[in-house]
Structure 1
């Protein structure tokens, strides 16, 4: 048995074309399965779970921001992966731990541990899960890319994202309907238990897919990479420092409000899980549709123009969030979500290209990992600052009009995002 398992995780330089095709298909199936587990342990589902066990708004916001903090581990994982010949074993093992931690969260309300212990258990499980996810993120992406020819990478990633989006949307609609049915019958604990049991089966499919995917032989660096070098290189690179400053400004502004969208929809606006899922679907469809247009604009005009335009548009969308109320959310929220989706379609292209374009080819992994680490560290503390503001700010008025504390967070975040968009003009086209 041990020999068979060892063979499964071995790298190989003798992979047939059929095995390559099968592995690429399995990666798509893995994405479709894993997205179900991530969906029911994030966003509105996470907010509902946290509220169910007794977490307040500010504490729920801090829990929701933990994945951002866990991104700081990427600078260490890049060193581990770059000094290994293969990444499959560690990726599959950490992925299994990640999925199990997320699934256990769904059963915490069933244990009746009391509010403080339940909140603490959820926070620990959520942190462990996203620690594992952040650690394997770089290696998993490298493993995926190694299975796709360069000239087909764009089409494959587009297909994978589209299939994952369809699976995510369909699964979210079904799972949110199930949870709503139990929520309105005052049996929300049972609802989380039911979707937890369903996701156990999905997890088995997910990990099975990852285990069956083949991995080509990778070559380790001749000169081993260490932490000191991974940190020193991007900091001493004058061109890349400008990129770091932009991303830090962007991270502070966007993460100040990021934990509160689902909380606001669920608690302040009183929307159902199903309606929130439909609104998230509107944003996702708009993002996919707009990404192609943003990409053409970047090729025909300038990626810097795409950066400025898309981030500025997101700032406008955040202002729209600050204007949402129970009275107008039914017709205003779809517009705000659509604008957000279009903006994110451009932001994803622009920020991805910006990180890689300014990094030297031979050290891209360490440069991008360091940037992600800094963004994660600053972003988490920005989210904590937002949570502190929500906890302390009371009786806010603008022009003598009362404003909810979370609405004020959205507005402050919007101005920060617009400021980071304006700063992006200082970055010269490369």
Structure 2
């Protein structure tokens, strides 16, 4: 009997598939720019969400990645990755038009609850799709092209995402504080339209068929297999600790900028645009570093810089001049975006390369599963800690007494989110 996996795709089919993957990335990124991140947090704050709720909402996309574990069984049993991915994404994106109409519900508590429910449905089916997508693309794209593929795909996606982010920022400035908001309706309706184009392009990508299933599957054994791989186990340990640190801090940047620093949504979205632009600017360079040297080289350079930027956020609250503060945050987000590009590209490519061809599903799912556990717990804990830190303040004042009297020559104080970001 002929093994369907032996029938390799032609170069023409591969190029056609990569082209559709680029278009899918562009439209999918537009969905993210219009319907997640800062926009989702702003929507929750529109319904008077507390820090705890903001932390929980930030955890939803991460905790739902745990569904990649049972999704492994689905992929391995059906062995139809394109079908699973496209069907799951279509169902996930049906939650977006529901989210679009929530601002017309008079009861803000009910609307917030429905927002959380819809986001959970959206992210859950996205997780199932991601499991099949990762395995599908791992077998589709040749190993020596993975670094360049992810670099080009991310550049293409981010370029479209920039336009969506700018549009969302301008729209959020007009959202207002009360009453039904056509702004959120427009953003989520636009996201749903973009998601339909994304799903269509993904459905056009060819699939490298999986070999027929010969043994009965056991989820525990499937997930244990990558954990026996010493190299892959080390990568997962890094990924989990990294995800915890990053997701402990970054989901609350929007709250920090709006509530403590007093900026408007337009400036907050401008920072997102600046970060994404910096991301695009260095992606090709990170891709070359990843392919020419190693993914570990890229990670070793980018990850410490990203973590240092989180700590450097504390300096913002010490700057009194509005112009200086704005310039500082813009510069910081340039470094944020550049370092995030290296970490994201290298970690994605490393996970793919460490997963053996033809058996990538459990490897990629294991990294996503354990990474999601660490990442999902972080903002939940963070939301609880945020209220604790809100009541704390630490000040340092250095005085000098001269004949004219006592003068303060240095003053430094940490309050609320300053403690949090240092933690």
Q: Aligned equivalents of 2:348 and 2:12: distance in 1?
A: 31
Question: Is structure 2 residue 132 aligned with structure 1 residue 139?
Answer: yes
Q: Aligned equivalents of 2:37 and 2:396: distance in 1?
A: 32
Question: Is structure 2 residue 386 aligned with structure 1 residue 390?
Answer: yes
Structure 1 residue ranges without an equivalent (≥5) = 1-10, 413-430
Gap change, CA 1:266 and 1:99, over 3 Å in 2: farther
| Residue-by-residue CA offset, 1:52-110 (whole Å, 9 max, x unaligned) | 11211231122112111111111221232133232222222211121121332232121
Question: Is structure 2 residue 304 aligned with structure 1 residue 312?
Answer: yes
Paired residues of 1:266 and 1:273 also in contact (CA < 8 A): yes
Which of residues 327, 331, 337 in structure 1 aligns to 2:333? 337
- What residue is the counterpart of 1:369 in the other structure? 365
Question: What is the TM-score normalised by the length of structure 2?
Answer: 0.83
Between 23-32 and 70-79, report the one with greater CA deviation. 23-32
Q: What is the 5 A alignment of 1:114-263?
A: 114-144=107-137, 148=141, 154-183=147-176, 189-263=181-255
Superposition deviation, residue 151 in structure 1:
5.6
Paired residues of 1:75 and 1:373 also in contact (CA < 8 A): yes
- What residue is the counterpart of 2:49 in the other structure? 55
What is the SS of the residue equivalent to 1:324? helix
Q: Aligned equivalents of 1:53 and 1:71: distance in 2?
A: 26
Gap change, CA 1:135 and 1:194, over 3 Å in 2: same
Paired residues of 1:304 and 1:350 also in contact (CA < 8 A): yes
Q: Aligned equivalents of 1:28 and 1:286: distance in 2?
A: 20
Superposition deviation, residue 256 in structure 1:
1.4
Paired residues of 1:317 and 1:336 also in contact (CA < 8 A): yes
Paired residues of 2:59 and 2:379 also in contact (CA < 8 A): yes
- What residue is the counterpart of 2:402 in the other structure? none
Superposition deviation, residue 310 in structure 1:
1.6
Which of residues 254, 257, 280 in structure 2 aligns to 1:265? 257
Paired residues of 1:62 and 1:259 also in contact (CA < 8 A): no
CA-based RMSD of the aligned residues comes to 3.1
- What residue is the counterpart of 2:277 in the other structure? 285
- What residue is the counterpart of 1:404 in the other structure? 415
Q: Would you say how many aligned residue pairs link Structure 1 and Structure 2?
A: 400
What is the SS of the residue equivalent to 2:367? helix
Paired residues of 1:69 and 1:377 also in contact (CA < 8 A): yes
Question: Is structure 2 residue 80 aligned with structure 1 residue 86?
Answer: yes
Paired residues of 1:87 and 1:143 also in contact (CA < 8 A): yes
| Residue-by-residue CA offset, 1:297-326 (whole Å, 9 max, x unaligned) | 456666444323321111211112122237
Which of residues 98, 118, 122 in structure 2 aligns to 1:104? 98
Structure 2 residue ranges without an equivalent (≥5) = 398-411
Paired residues of 1:49 and 1:106 also in contact (CA < 8 A): no
Between 227-236 and 216-225, report the one with greater CA deviation. 216-225
Between 32-41 and 314-323, report the one with greater CA deviation. 32-41
**Rg: which structure is higher?**
2
Q: Aligned equivalents of 1:34 and 1:303: distance in 2?
A: 25
Superposition deviation, residue 46 in structure 1:
0.9
Paired residues of 1:45 and 1:273 also in contact (CA < 8 A): no
Q: Aligned equivalents of 1:85 and 1:201: distance in 2?
A: 29
